[in-house]
């Protein structure tokens, strides 16, 4: 095991690793991240199917394509029966978790969500992850009691001022309080951040990684910032547009500092590096693949950023593609729920 893993995770160490600027230094970083992944997480890749069940949202995040202020979005919400049918189909393609994701909105209904969780747990062996934004602690507890296993709520940036510019109707403190509520309730918690939001520095990126470690997260999802044409940041370039390797260096350092957290190969990597991005991420520290399992007719209406891959594929096609990609890398499909490996 390289000396990298034994270094004390601190801001100076993170910045230095992120600034690896030669092929030799980068390749060494990627190799060590993959070794840490294999040592602590094994060689399996768990497949977690994302179902984007509604694009209604009350928030006006400055970068998001389904923000409330985007009047060009055709809004939708899947009904209970269609969601159950979608959930029942996931295990056939090796998906052992359903990730129910939507914009932040009360449209679907908290009680109906509770009923959906109970039905999925009764009728399948799937683990259930929700990603529907900031909610009161009492609602998180209700969903946990209905059978919710995990919750995903990204903090996006550790800088409170930068967060405020990106999210005019919420605060970083509120977001972190939600994470603490979920942790207190015994729910497995996922969070993460965007890489290269306008105004971000390498020091901010390093702080993002260190915040993930301090939060002791069960899963950490990160991916490149991609501007959407129907948002206030439409013309804003990624802060690392001149150094796209930073997207992979960030993930590798994240793995070194969080050896027991599940880290997914997020879709945005394939948007920036078509057909290869998520493969490279799996070779640089990631151990989870999250295919789009949303029914095809809804996918074009859930575009958080342009160029999102797999919009024209069926859930079955996505599932088959994922399995081929994982097997081509010499990895195995994860069996079972893929729950947290944190002690």
Q: Is 53 left (phi over 0), alpha (psi -120 to 50) or beta?
A: alpha
pLDDT tens for each residue of the chain, 343 residues long: 444 455 567 999 999 999 999 999 999 999 999 999 999 999 999 999 999 999 999 999 999 999 999 999 999 999 999 999 999 999 998 999 999 999 999 989 999 999 999 999 999 999 999 999 999 999 999 999 999 999 999 999 999 999 999 999 999 999 999 999 999 999 999 999 999 999 999 999 999 999 999 999 999 999 999 999 999 999 999 999 999 999 999 999 999 999 999 999 999 999 999 989 999 999 999 999 999 999 999 999 999 999 998 888 777 788 788 888 999 999 999 999 999 987 7
Q: What separation in angstroms does the CA of 125 have from each of 3, 117, 200? A: 41, 12, 41
The residues with which 191 forms a beta bridge, in sequence order, are: 220
3-state secondary structure the chain: CCHHHHCCCCHHHHHHHHCCCCHHHHHHHHHHHHHHHHHHHCCEEEEEEEEEEECCCCCCCCCCCCCCCCCCCCCCECCHHHHHHHHHHHHHHCEEEEEEEECCCCCCCHHHHHHHHHHHHHHCCCEEEEECCCCCHHHHHHHHHHCCCEEECCCECCCHHHHHHHCCCCCHHHHHHHHHHHHHCCCEEEEEEEECCCCCCHHHHHHHHHHHHHHCCCEEEEEECCCCCCCCCCCCCCCCCCCCHHHHHHHHHHHHHCCCCECEECHHHHHHCCCCHHHHHHCCCCCEECCECCCHHHHCCCCCCCCCCCCCCCHHHHHHHHHHHHHHCCCEECCCCCCCCCC
Task: In whole angstroms, give the CA distance from residue 161 to residue 220.
Answer: 22
Count of other CB atoms within 10 angstroms of residue 282: 23
What is the structure's pLDDT at 319?
A: 79
Tokens of 142: 């209700």
262 close to 288: Cβ distance less than 8 angstroms: yes
What is the structure's pLDDT at 275?
A: 86
Task: In whole angstroms, give the CA distance from residue 298 to residue 300.
Answer: 6
Domain boundaries, the chain: 28-332
CATH number of 28-332: 3.40.50.150, 3.20.20.70, 3.90.190.10, 3.40.50.170?
3.20.20.70
61 close to 67: Cβ distance less than 8 angstroms: yes
What is the structure's pLDDT at 7?
A: 59
Q: What separation in angstroms does the CA of 285 have from each of 28, 159, 269, 277, 314? A: 13, 25, 14, 13, 28
Tokens of 154: 């990204």
Task: In whole angstroms, give the CA distance from residue 213 to residue 13.
Answer: 14
What is the structure's pLDDT at 6?
A: 54
257 close to 9: Cβ distance less than 8 angstroms: yes
């Amino acid at each position: 095991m390289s000396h990298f893993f034994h270094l004390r995770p601190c801001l100076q160490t993170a910045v230095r690793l992120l600034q690896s600027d030669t092929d030799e230094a980068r390749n060494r970083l990627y190799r060590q991240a993959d070794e840490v992944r294999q040592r602590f997480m094994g060689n399996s890749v768990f497949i977690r199917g994302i179902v984007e069940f509604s694009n209604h949202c009350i928030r006006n995040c400055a970068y998001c394509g389904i923000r409330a202020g985007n009047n060009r979005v055709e809004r939708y919400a899947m009904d209970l029966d269609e969601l159950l049918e979608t959930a029942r189909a996931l295990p056939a393609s090796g998906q052992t978790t359903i990730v129910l994701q939507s914009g932040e909105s009360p449209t679907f209904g908290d009680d109906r969500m509770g009923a959906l969780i109970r039905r999925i747990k009764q009728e399948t062996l799937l683990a259930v992850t929700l990603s529907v934004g900031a909610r009161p602690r009492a609602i998180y507890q209700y969903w946990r009691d209905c059978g919710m296993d995990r919750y995903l709520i990204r903090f996006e940036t550790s800088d409170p001022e930068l967060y405020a510019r990106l999210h005019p109707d919420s605060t970083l403190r509120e977001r972190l309080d939600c994470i603490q509520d979920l942790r207190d309730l015994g729910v497995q918690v996922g969070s993460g951040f965007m890489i290269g939001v306008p105004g971000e520095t390498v020091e901010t990126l390093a702080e993002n990684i260190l915040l993930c470690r301090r939060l002791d997260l069960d899963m950490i999802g990160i991916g490149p910032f991609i501007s959407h044409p129907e948002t206030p940041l439409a013309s804003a370039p990624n802060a690392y547009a001149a150094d796209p390797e930073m997207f992979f260096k960030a993930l590798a350092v994240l793995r070194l500092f969080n050896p027991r957290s599940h880290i997914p190969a997020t879709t945005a990597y394939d948007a920036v590096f078509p057909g290869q991005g998520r493969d490279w991420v799996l070779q640089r520290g990631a151990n989870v693949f999250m295919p789009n399992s949303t029914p095809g007719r809804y996918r074009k209406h859930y575009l958080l950023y342009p160029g999102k891959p797999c919009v024209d594929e069926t859930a079955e096609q996505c599932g088959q593609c994922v399995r081929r990609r994982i097997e081509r890398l010499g990895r195995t499909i994860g069996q079972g729920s893929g729950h947290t490996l944190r002690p």
